[in-house]
Structure 1
Amino acid sequence: MNILKTSNLKKYYGNGENLVKAIDNANIDIKEGEFVAIVGKSGSGKSTLLHMMGGLDNPTEGKVYINDKDIFSLKEEKLAIFRRRNIGFIFQNFNLIPSLNVWENITLPVGLDGKEINKPFVTDIINSLGLESKVDALPNTLSGGQQQRVAIARALVARPAIILADEPTGNLDSKTSDEVMSLLKTMIKKYNQTLVMITHDETIAQMADRVIYIEDGKVVKGGVTND
């Protein structure tokens, strides 16, 4: 079953001679439980694509479906709620809230949704990521690798339909990067998650079940499962 699908997705800037086709007619499908890497050079459009998949940026044309829901048919407030409940985000720069400790950062999405926190589930995630001794720590006391593990836990905590990761190892050294990727892969298997990750690193991409290649805003290989 397709959990995410894009249909003729486009993002254009400017017009006439200044027209930039950041994303040009992208057709992608992601199956439930897949780990898919989207690979492209800097400026290829991969971040723009991921942001549209997650409803963070509006397309010029085309559609994004998550669990068969056309997400851009939703008004802004409804889209924000849908995003919070269905999409987990992991960003390159962690995006943790400096004044909140590790536990509070991880459980923030659940609290924002007004839901009761499933403490045993959160504790299981924290223990699986080796953060049990850091639950009361503030982000600025953590290493980069530890901060990214907190971000992974935060993405998992609401049991989203899909996790979108934007260069999750971009700010980490190669040893920490390997550790974080290994943990991320383990966690999505353990909690039966679907992961779409963008990267410019072919080595990291090869850990995925499938690789989608993007050049100059066009999906050139791997976009749909029969490519």
Structure 2
Amino acid sequence: LTTSLLTLSLTLPSDHRGVSSLRFTLTATPAEAGAGAEEEIHQQELSVLDINTHTNVIVAGLCRQASGDWSLRILKKPTRGFTYYDAIDDVTKCAAQLLGTEARAGRTLVADNADFVHLRKGELVFLPEDVLSVAVGLGWHAKGNLDLDASAAILGGAEPDGGITLLDTVWFYERESKLDAEFVRHSGDAARGTGGGGKGDDEVINVRLQRAP
């Protein structure tokens, strides 16, 4: 089975009233750039008010088109669950909708020397052909000892019956993809958020697109 979609999720504590801000960033590495030359191409705040009482947010999906090109869709879909696996049904439903929809016209995501590019919820954009890797960073600023967790699901294409195959998951307990350790990597658990105050991302998920099976 080949990888068709990778979704990225954020799990919040059941009582997240102490979380004052959430942020995720997207960086990409062009083919001609060396290590450490990542370009930030998107940054966005997630409203705690929009999340309300939900405890999981499906942030975005990276989807491989039939042509082999990769596209990105910002989802920001709130779901429920105290662990990542509790929300897996909602993740697969999102995957089925994304994979079952023909790619609509979308712009190519480029930095254009800007600090970042603003994306709207539900917007579809295509990654430049020279992008080899993508890093999704999640940061939060919390009052008290609150823990949030970032995770990724790797899914295969739609089955003949319309179903979706879950190929692998990557989170802080399983930090490397079993399909290929270099394909998707998790930076590790951050017990307490420091992001949102200019200190960088708390947890980062790195995806090397060319290593996708």
TM-score relative to the length of structure 2:
0.26
Q: Which has the higher helix share?
A: 1
For the pair shown, which has the larger CA radius of gyration, 1 or 2? 1
TM-score relative to the length of structure 1:
0.25
